[in-house]
């Protein structure tokens, strides 16, 4: 009888015959925590619960990437193809002077670039896995906790913020109003030519408890008209619900000025508004 039976031998015997995959040692090693490697492993097998995978399993959801808001969410887009996430990979490439192939997770992990230093190779492997893990955590925070990494962090990584039409970016946060006050947050936008507008409204009480929300397509509307419509439709809703002591929050300075000074209202809105009494 052979007395050299080890746990490893027993485990391999139970596991049966299996082929070693080329990325095995890139993920499962001593310099990458298993919890982080696990996310990359699931990505490799396309087993992460991204929205495209949830759809395949029968979930009826409207899918959109939480970073760029331009494409449906899939593993490939979320981790490699998204323009916003691309800035992270660019940052890594610049910092390490390496070229990364972002066409697939396989090509990303099994890099063809020759790295002579073992330490640099370990650093690259762990940086890639850590970035994938961080993207997944940030995605979950955005989708489920409504938490966003701060602008300071984005700047640290050199992530380009959309500043084309902005002279400065100000970080803002949502805060509840005083006791008994209901806060109405509204927004409106329009797109296309001729412009088609939509509005959205969220109601929360002073304890930040979600009371309700509605969104509506308002048809032909310029961006400014959409902002006004959002504000007025939410006030109409508040009036129909007999809500007292409401606080309106909008990101449109024109709307705020119009409500305060009672002028500057687009004539089409002014004519069809049912809530002019709010502005008197």
For the bound state, the minimum distance from the C-beta of residue 237 to Zn ion, rounded and expressed in Å, comes to 32
| DSSP codes joined into one string, 85-125 | HHHHHHHHHHHHT----TT-HHHHHS--S----HHHHHHHH
Q: Does the protein bind Zn ion through residue 248 (CB under 5 A)?
A: no
For the bound state, the minimum distance from the C-beta of residue 39 to Zn ion, rounded and expressed in Å, comes to 18
For the bound state, the minimum distance from the C-beta of residue 51 to Zn ion, rounded and expressed in Å, comes to 11
For the bound state, the minimum distance from the C-beta of residue 132 to Zn ion, rounded and expressed in Å, comes to 15
Of 42, 63, 68, 206, the one binding Zn ion by CB under 5 A = 68
Which whole-number Å values give the CA distances from 256 to 183, 228, 262, 273, in the listed order?
15, 9, 9, 16
Of 44, 65, 131, 221, the one binding Zn ion by CB under 5 A = 65
Q: Which residue has the tokens 């039409």?
A: 165
Specify burial of residue 56 (Cβ count, 10 A radius: 0-12, 13-18, 19+).
exposed
Q: Does the protein bind Zn ion through residue 27 (CB under 5 A)?
A: no
CA separation for the pair 62, 72 (Å, rounded): 8
Of 27, 82, 182, 248, the one binding Zn ion by CB under 5 A = 82
Q: Does the protein bind Zn ion through residue 67 (CB under 5 A)?
A: yes
Shorter beta-carbon distance to Zn ion: residue 48 or 233: 48
**In the complex, which residues of this chain contact Zn ion (CB under 5 A)?**
65, 67-68, 82
């Amino acid at each position: 009888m052979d007395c050299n039976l080890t746990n490893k031998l027993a485990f391999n015997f139970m596991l049966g015959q299996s082929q070693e995959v080329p990325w095995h040692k890139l993920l499962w090693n001593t310099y990458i925590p298993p919890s982080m490697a696990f996310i990359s492993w699931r990505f490799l097998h396309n087993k992460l619960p991204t929205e495209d995978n949830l759809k395949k399993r029968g979930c009826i959801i409207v899918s959109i990437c939480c970073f760029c808001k331009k494409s449906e969410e899939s593993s490939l887009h979320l981790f490699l193809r998204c323009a916003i996430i691309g800035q992270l990979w660019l940052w890594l490439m610049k910092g390490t002077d390496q070229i990364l192939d972002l066409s697939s997770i396989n090509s990303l992990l099994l890099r063809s670039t020759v790295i002579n230093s073992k330490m640099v190779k370990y650093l690259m492997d762990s940086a890639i896995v850590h970035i994938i893990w961080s993207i997944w955590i940030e995605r979950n925070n955005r989708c489920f906790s409504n938490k966003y990494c701060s602008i300071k962090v984005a700047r640290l990584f050199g992530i380009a913020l959309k500043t084309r039409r902005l002279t400065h970016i100000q970080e803002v946060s949502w805060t509840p109003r005083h006791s008994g006050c209901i806060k109405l947050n509204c927004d409106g936008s329009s797109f296309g030519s001729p412009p088609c507008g939509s509005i959205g409204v969220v109601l929360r009480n002073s304890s930040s408890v979600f009371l309700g929300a509605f969104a509506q397509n308002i048809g032909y509307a310029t961006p400014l008209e959409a902002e006004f419509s959002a504000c007025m439709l939410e006030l109409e809703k508040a009036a129909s619900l007999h809500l007292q002591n409401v606080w309106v929050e909008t990101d449109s300075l024109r709307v705020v000025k119009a409500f305060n000074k009672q002028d500057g209202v687009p004539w089409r809105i002014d004519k069809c508004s049912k809530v002019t009494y709010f502005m008197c």
